[in-house]
């Protein structure tokens, strides 16, 4: 139980809004529930959520201690009332989530509870699969990341052994990921391999593709094949042979086929014609190749998972298989 005294600067506020600010980790739905159940008492009595507070009022909050911690990424899951995750596959070791464009995988420099990792941790916590108070170091974690405005399959490990194995398999290129993108123009040849050297400008969070090696640039290789072309756009499948920042977006633009909606590497004039503001890029297929031993995850060897519904594909190439 925590006790709070209302000061003159907080007088006049509604009860629920005052508590929401005082206990920022407490989800809104749980806050309202606790008020109804009288686990939040005003001057030792229950009160309605819209009660106006006065200077000197005393609140007693019968709320678990963890909700009073300082908000940070590690405890963001507490703020998530109802986890929002599009699950592609799940078992006792892993969860494959279809991250939608606009959602962050992790918070970006400031506290943000509406991230994919927070929602996954909240689900495990609320289901009783993960007990953070009993875990000394492990928390459900993402094994790969996808840019905010890119969608696709993200792998989450639900235990420490699965996390260790998946990190190793990703590092050794034993997991095959395929992307779909919409590009302006028609790639020529219709399939092939793009090889270049990518230099990253960390301050601008932007990369530049060079045709020849230069200091600080890293090799980037992308295989592509055109699935269909229509009306100035082409639907292209890409496979990364290296994993560089913004690799597909930068290399396709460098080759003369910028992604539809890409404001950083694309064409503003062309994007304006279509009214698209987010890059048409999706990590839509994932296959666990596992040519070497995968321990407790051996059962995943050879299994493939696909996102069937992608908005930009249905909008521009609805009949594409």
Whether residues 125 and 199 fall in one domain: no
User: pLDDT tens digits for 215-234?
Assistant: 989 999 999 999 999 989 99
Average of per-residue pLDDT across 74-92: 95
Residues 6+ apart with CB under 8 A from 309: none
**Domain-embedded: residue 273:** yes
Query: What CATH number is associated with residue 63?
Result: 3.10.290.10
Q: How many domains does the chain have?
A: 3
User: pLDDT tens digits for 104-126?
Assistant: 999 887 888 899 999 999 999 99
Q: What is the pLDDT of residue 11?
A: 94
Residue ending a domain, among 111, 137, 171, is 171
Residue 89 pLDDT level (bands cut at 50, 70, 90) = very high
Residue 321 pLDDT level (bands cut at 50, 70, 90) = low
Q: What is the pLDDT of residue 10?
A: 92
Residue ending a domain, among 68, 92, 111, is 68
What whole-number distance in Å separates Cα of residue 216 and Cα of residue 197?
9
Whether residues 9 and 52 fall in one domain: yes
Q: What is the pLDDT of residue 137?
A: 79
Exposed/middle/buried for 37, CB within 10 Å: 0-12, 13-18, 19+?
A: exposed
Greater pLDDT, 134 or 95: 95
3-class DSSP state for residue 146?
coil
Residues 6+ apart with CB under 8 A from 6: 18, 53, 54, 55, 56, 57, 58, 59
Rg of the chain over Cα atoms, rounded to whole angstroms, equals: 24
- Model confidence, pTM: 0.89
Query: What CATH number is associated with residue 272?
Result: 3.30.2350.10
% the chain with pLDDT above 90: 85
**Domain-embedded: residue 246:** yes
- Helix (H) / strand (E) element for 119: namely helix 116-126
Strand order in the sheet with 2-5: 2-5, 58-61, 40-42
Q: What is the pLDDT of residue 277?
A: 84
User: pLDDT tens digits for 236-261?
Assistant: 999 999 989 999 999 999 999 999 99
Q: What is the pLDDT of residue 320?
A: 64
% the chain with pLDDT above 70: 99
Greater pLDDT, 319 or 273: 273
User: pLDDT tens digits for 175-225?
Assistant: 999 999 999 999 999 999 999 999 988 888 899 999 999 898 999 999 999
**pLDDT above 80 for 135:** no
For 57, the token pair is 């009022």
Residue ending a domain, among 13, 39, 68, is 68
Whether residues 77 and 64 fall in one domain: no
Whether residues 265 and 220 fall in one domain: yes
Whether residues 189 and 292 fall in one domain: yes
Whether residues 101 and 198 fall in one domain: no
* Number of C-beta neighbours around residue 220 at 10 A: 25
**Domain-embedded: residue 282:** yes
Whether residues 58 and 146 fall in one domain: no
Whether residues 88 and 153 fall in one domain: yes
Exposed/middle/buried for 186, CB within 10 Å: 0-12, 13-18, 19+?
A: middle
Whether residues 154 and 281 fall in one domain: no
For residues 72 and 26, the answer to whether their CB atoms sit within 8 Å is: no
**Domain-embedded: residue 148:** yes
Which among 23, 28, 36, 29 is positioned nearest to 63, based on CA atoms?
Answer: 23
Whether residues 216 and 287 fall in one domain: yes
For residues 170 and 194, the answer to whether their CB atoms sit within 8 Å is: no
**Domain-embedded: residue 321:** no
Whether residues 137 and 191 fall in one domain: no
**What residues make up the domain containing 208?**
176-316
Whether residues 243 and 201 fall in one domain: yes
Average of per-residue pLDDT across 48-55: 95
Q: What is the pLDDT of residue 269?
A: 86
């Amino acid at each position: 139980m925590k006790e709070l005294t209302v000061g003159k600067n907080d007088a006049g506020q509604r009860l629920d809004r005052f508590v929401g600010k005082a206990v920022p980790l407490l989800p809104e739905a749980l806050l309202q529930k606790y008020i109804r159940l009288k686990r939040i008492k005003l001057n030792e009595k229950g009160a309605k959520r819209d009660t106006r507070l006065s200077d000197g009022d005393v609140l007693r909050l019968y709320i678990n201690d963890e909700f009073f911690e300082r908000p940070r990424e590690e405890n963001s899951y507490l703020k998530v009332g109802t986890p929002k995750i599009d699950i592609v596959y799940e078992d006792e070791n892993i969860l494959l989530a279809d991250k939608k464009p606009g959602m962050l995988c992790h918070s970006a420099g400031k506290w943000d509870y509406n991230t994919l990792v927070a929602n996954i941790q909240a689900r495990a916590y609320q289901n009783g699969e993960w007990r953070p108070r009993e875990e000394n170091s492990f928390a459900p974690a993402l094994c790969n990341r996808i840019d905010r405005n890119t969608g696709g399959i993200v792998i989450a490990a639900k235990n420490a052994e699965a996390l260790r194995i998946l990190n190793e398999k990703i590092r050794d290129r034993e997991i095959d990921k395929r992307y779909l993108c919409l590009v302006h123009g028609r790639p020529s040849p219709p399939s092939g391999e793009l090889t270049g050297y990518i230099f990253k400008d960390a301050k601008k969070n932007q990369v530049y593709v060079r045709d020849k090696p230069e200091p600080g640039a890293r090799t980037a290789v992308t295989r592509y094949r055109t699935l269909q072309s229509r009306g100035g756009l082409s639907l292209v499948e890409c496979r990364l042979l290296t994993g560089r920042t913004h690799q597909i977006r930068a290399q396709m633009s460098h080759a003369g086929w910028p992604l539809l909606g890409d404001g950083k590497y694309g064409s503003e004039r062309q994007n304006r014609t279509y009214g698209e503001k987010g890059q048409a890029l999706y990590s839509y297929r994932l296959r666990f190749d596992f040519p070497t031993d995968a321990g407790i995850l051996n059962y995943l060897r050879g299994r493939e998972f696909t996102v069937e519904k992608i908005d930009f594909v249905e909008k521009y190439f609805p009949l594409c298989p």
